[in-house]
Copies of this chain bind each other. A is one copy, B any other.
Amino acid sequence: MSKGSKRLGRASIRFEEPIYILESASVVGNKESEGPLGHLFDQVESDDRVGGATWEEAESNLQKKAVGLALKKAGMEASEVDLMFAGDLLAQSIASSFGLSTFEIPMYGLYGACSTCGESIGLGSMAISAGLAKYVVCVTSSHFASAEKEFRFPLEYGNQRPLSASWTVTGSGAFLLCGQEDVRPGKLPRARVTGLTVGQITDYGLKDSMNMGACMAPAVVSTLERHFQDFGVAPSDYDKIITGDLGKVGQKILIDMMQDRGYDLRGVHTDCGIEIFDGDTQDTHAGGSGCGCCAVTLSAYILRELELGHWQKVLFVPTGALLSKTSFNEGNSVPGIAQAVVLERCD
């Protein structure tokens, strides 16, 4: 076992030698720039196609820009990065495959639906802890138009969306990770990764792909319960517990279910899907979603709150709805998964 980490339970780990988020970047679309976090994002793409010919190419370009920007902010070249963890929502993860090849960085591709941001940071931290890599980039993305095409209806169809539906975020967030010995002198990292609890697939049999918050809430409950037990902590040990992307419907279910289990999340809980849009004025219904939602919210908002000292320690819990249009059309349920990452302020 690595000297720098301590196994606390089944797939729960504390990094005694923390992993650092050295730098990060967020690139978003127009709608995201008009939301409550709009002024915090690094870059806004006013062209919905992000210079591409298709929605998929647009999403690939978001990933390319986010990684490029994170490297630029860190003053590093792609050739200095050892390993990349990447994922998106599209079939066969093509946003990553086509967006990242020009960097020529060794890569592991991931699929965890909207939980992939947490999965990528978890595995990136582990790769550094295991000694496989010094510098790791973790990147995820989503695009409203490519996701609607992939999961729901053609945009031209103009289908009505129930109030429980979420709005896929157009955006990509990239995170550059390294170990303590590789933090460059004079550079204060954005945050420390000090622990992980890996999520389980949780399936309560819900079948409504227009209410993914409800489908995913039980997965968060499963991960949080194990996390609190394995780490011997309570919700009050965190300044914030931030899921994504339950939205308003899923948040209510989560708080109720956790209350039944003796945990009070009121006050301490928020959700990336709730933070990123103003549901009242932006017509985004339950909130934002997509692999990009957690990623850009983490980069632009959560890490900033840690840097500003508003928060000292947060639990970041991206959640994914594990469905495809094939499984949905075949009448299957929507299982969920939630990947928890402990993030702490760097002093």
Residues of A within 8 A of B (CB): 1-7, 10-11, 13, 53-54, 56-57, 82-83, 87, 89-94, 97-98, 100-101, 104-113, 119, 122-123, 126-127, 129-134, 150, 179, 196-203, 226, 322-327, 330, 332, 335, 337, 339
Contacts and interface: CB of A to CB of B under 8 A. Distances in A.
A109 B111 contact: yes
Nearest to A126: B130
Contacts of A199: 106-107
Given A101-B203, A130-B2, A133-B11, A109 B112 contact: yes
Contacts of A109: 110-112, 119, 322, 337
B200 A107 contact: yes
A100 B326 contact: no
Nearest to A129: B130
A113 B92 contact: yes
B132 A7 contact: yes
Contacts of A330: 53-54, 56-57
B111 A93 contact: yes
Contacts of A90: 324, 326
Contact of A91 (B92, B123, B129): B92
A296 B200 CA distance: 25
- Most chain B CB inside 10 Å of its own CB: which residue of A7, A106, A196, A337: A106
B108 A13 contact: no
Contacts of A324: 90-92, 94
A330 B6 CA distance: 47
A325 to B, nearest CB: 7
A3 B5 CA distance: 11
Contact of A3 (B3, B83, B323): B3
A209 to B, nearest CB: 11
A26 to B, nearest CB: 23
Contacts of A325: 91
Given A87-B111, A322-B92, A324-B90, A101 B335 contact: yes
Given A53-B330, A126-B130, A129-B130, 11 more contacts: A11-B83, A56-B326, A89-B92, A90-B324, A91-B324, A92-B111, A94-B327, A98-B322, A106-B199, A107-B198, A109-B119
A200 B104 contact: yes
Nearest to A203: B101
A233 to B, nearest CB: 18
Contacts of A11: 82-83, 106, 132-133
Which of A2, A3, A200, A335 neighbours the largest number of chain B CB atoms within 10 Å of its CB? A2
Contacts of A196: 132
Contacts of A6: 131
Contacts of A82: 10-11
